[in-house]
A and B are shown apart, each in its own frame.
Chain A
Amino acid sequence: MSRLVKQWIPTLIATVTGLIVLAGYLFPGQLLVYYQGRITQWRDVLIEWAVIVAAFAFALGLLNILHVHGGRVVHARKGWFYSLVLLLAALAACVPPILYGPSGALTQQMLNYVIGPLGASLAGLLVFTLTLAAFRLLRVRRSVGAVLFVLIVAVVLLGSTPFVGLEWLADARDWIISVPGMAGGRGLLLGVALGTMITALRVLMGSDRPHSEF
């Protein structure tokens, strides 16, 4: 009984749900004309349910943050002050949407003048971390691949600058991006698509059961 509830029922639900959603996308309208409309309807309902479940997952995420950081503050563990700041900031961020709604002026101002600039500054930090990583690469791993990597990064970056006398680098940059870069990117995408399909089929066949107990 326990095995039925913990293994077979979740697997059956996952397989049937996956097959219905997949059929709703894959079977063309001309094929199975009668069933197509019905399958599409079921697919839409299931996707709607998934969105509702995802919304509940956000509540779980918030509880997890409270559990981890609240515990750290209460027990005064290492870094408790940062956790306290995080909890206070999270609490403050909840106030405008609750009082004025998600499209209220104060909520929008908070998004535009606090959360937006913070995200932009983090994105700005990436330039430094990536440059530092390239520097570390030359120091730690002196190989042909490493030198080529840094050389290509330098050409692409300098080719994007408007410096006089470096126009020829812009052509080299364009070639790198549109020929080897594009080819490599497409190769990656094809490989990832195959991996995605195999993983999804494993779940649909019940061979991989991340959602069941056994």
Chain B
Amino acid sequence: MIRRVLATAVKELLQLRRDWRTALALLGMPVVLLMIYGYALSFDVTDIRLGVVDQCRSQASRRMVEAFLKSGYFVQKTILDDSRSLDDLFTAETIQAALVIPADFTARTSARQPTSVLFVLDGSDSQTANTVLGYARQIVASQTGAVYGIQIQVPYEAAPLVWYNPDLKSSIFLVPGLLAFILMVSSVIATALAVVREKERGTMESLRATPVRAIELLLGKAVPYLLVASVSAAGSLFLAWALFEVPIRGSLLWLAVVTLLFLAGGLGWGIFISTIAETQQLAFQLSLLSSMLPTLLLSGFIFPISSMPTALQILTHIVPARYYISALRSIVLKGVGPEMWWQQMVALGIYASVVLLLATVRMVRRL
């Protein structure tokens, strides 16, 4: 049993080594995807061109301006004497935001009176404007404490406090989803194609006339791809950490366990598809449709599940990536133990068992 699984696995690895296109797709694609999505799918806004109107010209007001510039989000474009020319600058897109510090800024703060600075923003791109506003609030809030040593109490103001991703960097939020996406797509497609290829070429017919059992063939095919996908996953995670500073706070061991469960489900699904599809082309399309789209759209990768219509929310329960991404975010970003995400792990385990069982049953029936 083990020897025959091994014989198949060795053969599969040899084939993979010669078939550089598939090997490249499995190992290289995740890296490319990670780079593209990591950089392009960023909702972060940096280098905002800031116009400064400092009517106070005190030490305190200069410190406030400095705080904006030191935050890394803003670059100073112009210093103006009054706010009348701001309109022209916004129209010409010379500046995207403006900070106006009133003349009585120092006087009011010294007198412990509530005071405010004016933050003018180009709202034509609401998404960006929202993000920039968030930055500005944070900076002003931090200055209030730092400069004066006491918090100014303003009635009814929400004090946002963001945990786990305090800078709200989108890469940190996206990378776990990206990892799930890469693993799902590569494991499903790779295995589906590997089995269907044998059918298309006719080697399956010869294999069926040997004592090799369906389960041995299945394992022999799954193990090498599981290995390759794991390497791919580890590489992606390392890159995410190195390039996008995604912190890995939780246990790597648990991360590996959850990832393996998720991969097992993907491999099972790939084999299941291979028992339906007769050609590699069909297998490829089925894999893409059934693994890529749900992982992208219905897993909470990009669109939050809680804001979906109820019908779609129910549908997300059969998308394994949903559980994986949730568990991954818990482990990677929050660093919490299994007591917090065991339900996700159980769900992944159930999915993997059901799919692998289905795949085996279908495969056995065909043999």
The answer to whether A and B interact is: no
